[in-house]
Amino acid sequence: MLDIAVIVVNWNAREDLSACLASLFATPPPAVQWAVWVVDNASSDGSADMTASQFPDAHLVVNTENVGFSRANNRAIALASDYRYVFLLNSDAAVETPQALDQLVAFADQHPEAAVIGPHVLNPDGTLQFSCRSFPNLWAGLFRNTLLGRLFPRNPWARNYLMADFDHTKACGVHWVSGCAMLIRQDFIQKFGALDPDFYMYCEDVDICKRAWDNGLSVWYFPGATIVHKIGASSDKSAEKMIWAFHESWMHYYEKHFPHQPRWKHWLVRWGLWLRATVRIWNRRRRGVRPDPVLEAQSPKKPGRR
């Protein structure tokens, strides 16, 4: 089999996509056998034409509609079945470390028990991005991006969730790594499935890492390869829709992995997520941010509605 297929899903992020692909095709090329797939989710900004003209070595897949992050990645994963590893890379991310793909493949070969591996991720200003995290719990939900979190910014629950006190210079097994830059072992995908298509956006990374641990494998953070990630190049273009997609995804994750929890706890989580999404959208509009056109005639779904 070949070594590693890099998969980049894009929606209306042409300039960031161009920078992402330029970083991948920069010289010197990786020593491993590799290829790049770009899956364009029906962009209207010329992203597909740019890819075809400027990066002819990339395999281009153009969807006729925006099918979401998981389904778009899965389409390319199926096409790259003869590669030992797939590396999911956001279109607003760029490879920073020379020979990053070589280093990721070498580390994965040394850790056959690792189904998923995440590299070191930086913000564009060079600060650390918390790309490896602990699995969430109710306490983290109460203090992460909420009024309680603003009142108690150094609370231990949010810090533990973000692994804020973790030494990010050392390779280590972690609960989950961000899907902005995620290597997945192909034999794991063949046995246990790719990304869950029911996650339109968000939480598909937490889900696949949880499935790895549940099936006796592991997830690793590897600082030997560095990625720079801007965050939100595509999702910010439809921010309110993405706020709700984010909270819907967390509800799907909770119901999928914790189906036998008491009914009151399911309702507590659902109402809490609905309230959190509603408050975030209300705060945007209070600050004068115009609502997304797709949401002008509708409010976020209340608990119990699908």
pLDDT band per the 50, 70, 90 thresholds, residue 238? low
Look at residue 299 and tell me whether its pLDDT is greater than 70. no
Strands (E), 127-253: 132-133, 172-173, 176-177, 181-185, 218-229
Amino acid in the structure at residue 102: D
**Where do the domains of the chain lie, and which CATH numbers do they carry?**
2-229 (3.90.550.10), 235-295 (no CATH)
pLDDT band per the 50, 70, 90 thresholds, residue 301? very low
Rounded to two decimals, the pTM is 0.86
The C-alpha atoms of residue 306 and residue 294 are separated, in whole angstroms, by 17
Look at residue 145 and tell me whether its pLDDT is greater than 80. no
Each residue of 154-191: pLDDT tens digit?
777 678 878 888 999 999 999 999 999 999 999 999 99
Each residue of 58-74: pLDDT tens digit?
999 999 999 999 999 99
